[in-house]
Chains A and B, each alone.
Chain A
Amino acid sequence: MRTTPSLRIAAILWGAAGFAGLWALWELAAFGVANDAVLPGPRVVLWQFERHAGGDRGLEFLGVEHSSYGINLAWTVGTAGLGWLIGSALGVAAGLGAARRQWLRDVTEPVLFVFGAVPVLVVAPLLLVWLGAGPVGKLTLVTFYCFVVVAVVAQSAALNLPPAVEEYAATLGLDAAARFRAVVLPAALPAIVAVLRLALATGISLQAGAELLGPRVGMGRLISLRAQQGNVGEVLSLSITLGLVAVLLDTAVRAAVAPALRWQG
């Protein structure tokens, strides 16, 4: 489907209207509940953000060394991002390789079969015991998660290439390596980009989720402490901030790969 500029502007405007609607609904719901401890309105959450983003002495009494959003965000997103980079790179290589070489498929299949379906979070406790509450365990978790989802999608994308396209390239004289480079890789790219974006968002979520189980730093740690204090507004403020950073990163990834996907229209 072709999108004209006026349609795109309309889409943006309606998107904005959607957010305005969400805000209004939220305000209305909070007004109805009339208890900031249960459901604070968006303005209360914003006020929480302004008050605590720079740090909170109260948390420092609870043994949190760095309580400002910035450091914890950098920690969570940084660890998740590193895991995403390593895991995705390995996943693309393994997935595409497994689509082309039977022995590699045989080796990767058991892992991809199980963890393609079972949430990777299930190994989080084991990693905590083995690697401790430090960053290495969570880095391993996110890396492993990204590896699995990216490999599964890259493999099926390479296998879904219509055989005629590769046969056509072969009759033009392209050998297996040239076909991989000129046909398989570009054909699989849209699906790979989509799963890279999914893996980044879910990787951050997984990292923060694993941080609930008790490290010293990270947004998940702050969320868990605020939840123990019963501070719904602050939990929402932390979650939404992390979500917005994820959206920003997603937008950056999308913009970076846009030229390579223009052929799709």
Chain B
Amino acid sequence: MITNKVWGVRLRTRARGRALVAGSLAGLVLWQVLAVIVGAVTTQGAHVVPPLPTIFTSGITGLSHFYKGGLGPATTIEGAPDSPGLAALAVGQNGLVTWGRFWAGYLLAVGLGLPAGLLVAGARPVRHAVGGVAGLLRMLPLLAMAPLFTLWFGATGRAGVLFVTFGAFWVVLLATSNAVANLPAHVTDYPRTLGLGPVRLRTRVVLPAILPQLRGALMLAAGTAWACVLASELYGIQSGLGWALNQTLVYSLVDQMIVLALLFAGLSLASLRLIDAVTGHLTRWTE
């Protein structure tokens, strides 16, 4: 990268780590100020905008209620008091469930969507036929259809996973078939002259060649999948971070709500980072 100042045309910005840190700190300070003001002027204030110390104490220990037992210690229903240990168990238990639902649904969507996209892209008529249908299904109000899956599969983890797959599948399918359609002919012509058959051509040549184009779609699919996990857990399913989040809404426990939202955000950020790193590694030949 050129470090010399560029005369005239230097209007390009970059992400700065310290801006992220400063922004997060500013957010915390702003929150605390807001909490103090709202707490001073309204009676329910501390409840609606809890101050930071509340969030970091009762916001965390209060999560003990979401521990369902089975891991040794007694639950709060059995009389155990709130404690950081129980809260950690609660977060571990529900976080793991949510994390598992995301990956199961997402990987299933990729595992089905990629081969389906490769097949669909093989023939132009099929591509048009499936492309139109997928385009319409993509426009359905996905998040509002979570109840449908609970109706079909009950308020179970399976409903959540299938809902996630349903949401992310179309993204992967459409992106794959578009990427194959946009692939220049010479990419497949040369391996064909080497005598590669249709299956090996797709797995060894086409798939790696479209992967750089697919990276964005795989991230978009992951974002969609997280929204689906959350929607399904907010609505109907009785476990996971989303379920706990809905409980805090029902009982207006804003301090715990914020901790849960942060945990959820952390999980989804971590998974997206992981997907970015893996796809980046697989496409490192392009850079």
A and B touch in the complex (CB under 8 A): yes
Interface size on B, residues (CB 8 A): 61
B48 touches A212 (CB 8 A): no
Nearest chain B residue, comparing its CB with the CB of A37: B151
0 or 1 for each of A118-135: is its CB under 8 Å from B? (1 = yes)? 110111111011100000
0 or 1 for each of B1-41: is its CB under 8 Å from A? (1 = yes)? 00000001101111110011011100100000000000000
A205 touches B144 (CB 8 A): yes
0 or 1 for each of A182-209: is its CB under 8 Å from B? (1 = yes)? 0000000000000000000100111011
Nearest chain A residue, comparing its CB with the CB of B125: A14
State how many angstroms separate the Cβ of A130 from the closest Cβ of chain B: 7
Chain A interface size, as a band, is 35 or more
Nearest chain B residue, comparing its CB with the CB of A240: B140
Nearest chain A residue, comparing its CB with the CB of B226: A119
Q: Bound complex: CA of A223 vs CA of B235, how far in Å?
A: 12
A100 touches B13 (CB 8 A): yes
State how many angstroms separate the Cβ of B84 from the closest Cβ of chain A: 23
B143 touches A213 (CB 8 A): no
State how many angstroms separate the Cβ of B247 from the closest Cβ of chain A: 10
0 or 1 for each of B229-255: is its CB under 8 Å from A? (1 = yes)? 011001100000000011011001010
Nearest chain A residue, comparing its CB with the CB of B129: A18
Which of A102, A201, A235 contacts B147 (CB under 8 A)?
Answer: A235
From residue 245 to 267 of chain B, which have CB atoms closer than 8 A to chain A?
245-246, 248-249, 252, 254, 257-258, 261, 264-265
0 or 1 for each of A230-256: is its CB under 8 Å from B? (1 = yes)? 101001100110111011001000000
State how many angstroms separate the Cβ of B169 from the closest Cβ of chain A: 15
If the complex has contacts A213-B249, A219-B141, A246-B139, are A110 and B20 also in contact, measured as CB distance less than 8 A? yes
Query: Which A residues are CB-close (under 8 A) to B139?
Result: 201, 243-244, 246-247, 250
Query: Which A residues are CB-close (under 8 A) to B19?
Result: 105-107, 109-110
If the complex has contacts A176-B11, A246-B139, are A117 and B130 also in contact, measured as CB distance less than 8 A? no
B9, B13, B23 — which one has the most chain A CB atoms within 10 A of its CB?
A: B13
A117 touches B140 (CB 8 A): no
State how many angstroms separate the Cβ of B277 from the closest Cβ of chain A: 13
Asked if B96 lies at the interface with its beta carbon under 8 angstroms from chain A, I say: no
A101 touches B148 (CB 8 A): no
Q: Bound complex: CA of A262 vs CA of B231, how far in Å?
A: 38
Q: Which of A50-58, A63-71, A86-94, A163-171 contacts B (4 or more CB under 8 A)?
A: A163-171
Please report B residues at the A interface, Cβ cutoff 8 Å: 8-9, 11-16, 19-20, 22-24, 27, 48, 124-126, 128-133, 136-148, 150-152, 223, 226-227, 230-231, 234-235, 245-246, 248-249, 252, 254, 257-258, 261, 264-265, 268-269, 272
Please report A residues at the B interface, Cβ cutoff 8 Å: 10-11, 14-19, 21-22, 38-39, 98-102, 104-107, 109-111, 113-114, 117-119, 121-126, 128-130, 159, 163, 166-167, 170, 176, 179-180, 201, 204-206, 208-213, 219-220, 223-224, 227, 230, 232, 235-236, 239-240, 242-244, 246-247, 250
Q: List 27 A-B contacts (CB under 8 A).
A: A14-B125, A15-B129, A19-B132, A99-B13, A102-B16, A110-B27, A114-B269, A119-B230, A119-B268, A121-B234, A122-B230, A125-B245, A126-B254, A129-B48, A130-B48, A163-B12, A166-B9, A179-B11, A208-B141, A209-B142, A209-B231, A210-B143, A212-B146, A213-B249, A239-B144, A239-B148, A246-B140
